[in-house]
Chains A and B, each alone.
Chain A
Amino acid sequence: MSHKILELQSVDAGYNGKTVIRGADLEVFTDDFIGVIGPNGGGKTTLLKVILGVIKPLKGKVIYHNLSDGKQGKRIGYLPQFNMVDSKFPISALEVVLSGLMPRHGLFRKYRREDTAAARSMMEKMGIAHLENKVIGELSGGQMQRVFLGRALISSPRLLVLDEPNTFVDNQFEGELYELLRRLNQEMAIMLATHDLGTITPYVKTIACVNREVHYHRSNVITEKQLSAYHCPIQLITHGDVPHTVLKKHQK
């Protein structure tokens, strides 16, 4: 049974007094797999941050249903936009995965043996068990993303939020990532932001287009006409007999 886990009601949000997104309405259900598309600077990351609760909406409401477990905080996993980690930072891959328990443990709860065991089995699921003791800076882009995905998943989230997970990773990892997400989607809702709609279309169930406003389209079929109506300039690959790319520029 699918039920609602998250609701945005006419939300305005932004930073330093500047409104980035206006009047966003969105509903997320337990079995959703939403592709969040839109141009860079259109507000994809802002939308995700509102959902994560990092920024409070300037107007409107964000409602969580069964997403918070009291002390444990919100059951949301998060894969941030690829950020250059300090390649010399002295931390092992296993510790990075373990750090995903930080929101649940807070300041004072001790990390126990079962936590380390959970991190190990998570690394096994991600196919990176052999990298446990490697320092994070020694890993390749794809391996690093797997470690960060492990960090996001170790707290068994009900909603997984990914911000541009396909930047700086090889095509092989990208394919594996999407297959993995398809499997994960049986247990949790997924929201994935990307500016490259092409490769993700077959995997997502629905599409939200974010360009200052949020247009939610409850289908993964999206036409060029709809995109232009949304003012959503995006690279679109249609899946026909002969795949071709249509590039629409935003016109004022």
Chain B
Amino acid sequence: MTDLLQYDFFVHAIWAALFTSITCGVIGTYIVSNRIVFLSGGITHSSFGGIGLGYFLGINPLLGAAGFSVLSALGIEYFSRKGELRHDSVIGIWWSFGMALGIIFIYITPGYAPNLMTYLFGSILTVSSVDLGYMGVLSAVVVLFFILFYRIILYISFDEAYARVFGMPVALMKNVMISLVALTIVVNIKVVGIILLISLLTIPQSIANQFTRIFSRMIIYSTAIALIGVVSGLLISYALEIPSGASIIFALVVLFVLTKAVVVARRKELLPGSRQD
């Protein structure tokens, strides 16, 4: 481990792991509590359209993805609020349409599209210092926003109708939150890739949920669990020479199964230290 730290790319990866854990820990808790996992999956996959657009225009594909994802997130919210289409159908359509757009853009862009696989399957070792900058800024924004508006976010998530009765800016808050979801997805694409990203937003929360059912604690626990998962995935990937994105998800699922087993065993009082109530 200490010799690994001589390498810039590895130090970058550790920073990336920290920022990923913060953004996914906080935003993932919002996603899981509000049951918008499918919406988040839709935004993640449709962001491929933005990556294709980035290639086509010759700009940083992640910038293309950022613009595209925020707009598609707001678009999905808008069209499902109008109520003429079913919420999940809108997501399904947009999910595949974004990916189709991405393929078309990449196909009509002259030359070879380098790093394409990185965006699909992730590679935490190729995170650049520019990427780290974006991740660091977003982590700070997300943390600050949640500290300032924690209760409003919680109360609107819990009972939107009640908040609306008392004139709280529900639509504005939801739009800001869904934009933060979209940006969190985009900055984390390089870490595990579009195909695998949704797991970083759901597995740490599901593990945390076994130990707490309080929103603020879920945020803190999921952040810590995500960090453990990403770093151990990274080390497994190094040791076994397998792709990092996949090994991170693998590590998280193993962690989930282990904690679940412990919790179930405790409940059945098979293990010492179980509660006697």
Interface positions of A (Cβ within 8 A of B) = 49, 52-54, 73, 78, 80, 83, 85-86, 88-92, 95-96, 98-99, 102-103, 105, 107-108, 111, 135-136, 151
Contact = CB atoms under 8 A, between A and B. Distances in A.
A102 B166 contact: yes
B79 interface: no
B152 A90 contact: no
The main secondary structure of chain B at its interface with chain A is: helix
Contacts of B112: none
Nearest to B155: A99
Contacts, number: 64
B168 to A, nearest CB: 6
Contacts of A83: 161
Contacts of A102: 151-152, 155, 163, 166, 168
A90 B161 contact: no
A80 B151 contact: no
A98 B33 CA distance: 19
A134 B201 CA distance: 26
B85 interface: no
Contacts of A107: 149, 152, 168-169
Given A91-B214, A99-B159, 10 more contacts: A53-B167, A78-B166, A85-B158, A91-B154, A91-B215, A99-B158, A102-B163, A107-B149, A135-B213, A135-B214
A49 B152 CA distance: 22
B218 A80 contact: no
Interface of B: 33, 35, 148-149, 151-152, 154-155, 157-159, 161-169, 209, 212-215, 218
Contacts of A53: 167
B204 to A, nearest CB: 14
Contacts of B151: 98-99, 102, 105, 111
Q: 9 smallest A-B Cβ distances: which pairs?
A: A103-B166, A99-B155, A135-B213, A90-B215, A90-B213, A91-B158, A54-B165, A102-B155, A90-B218
Contacts of B165: 49, 52, 54, 78, 80
A95 B154 contact: yes
Given A95-B154, A102-B163, A107-B169, A90 B214 contact: yes
B150 to A, nearest CB: 9
A108 B151 CA distance: 10
Of B158, B169, B212, most buried by chain A (CB within 10 Å of CB) is B158
A83 B160 CA distance: 12
B245 to A, nearest CB: 29
16 contacts: A49-B165, A53-B167, A80-B165, A85-B159, A89-B158, A90-B218, A91-B214, A99-B154, A102-B155, A102-B168, A103-B168, A107-B152, A107-B169, A111-B151, A135-B214, A136-B158
Contacts of B166: 73, 78, 102-103
Contact of A90 (B159, B163, B167, B212): B212
A96 B169 CA distance: 18
A19 B87 CA distance: 28
Contacts of B163: 102
Nearest to A152: B162
Given A102-B151, A135-B214, A89 B162 contact: no
Nearest to A89: B158
Contacts of B164: 54
B151 to A, nearest CB: 6
B110 to A, nearest CB: 49
Of A54, A102, A103, most buried by chain B (CB within 10 Å of CB) is A102
Contacts of A136: 158
A103 B159 contact: no
Contacts of B158: 85-86, 89, 91, 96, 99, 136
B6 to A, nearest CB: 42
Contacts of A88: 213
B167 A92 contact: no
A89 B169 CA distance: 21
Of B33, B157, B166, B209, most buried by chain A (CB within 10 Å of CB) is B166
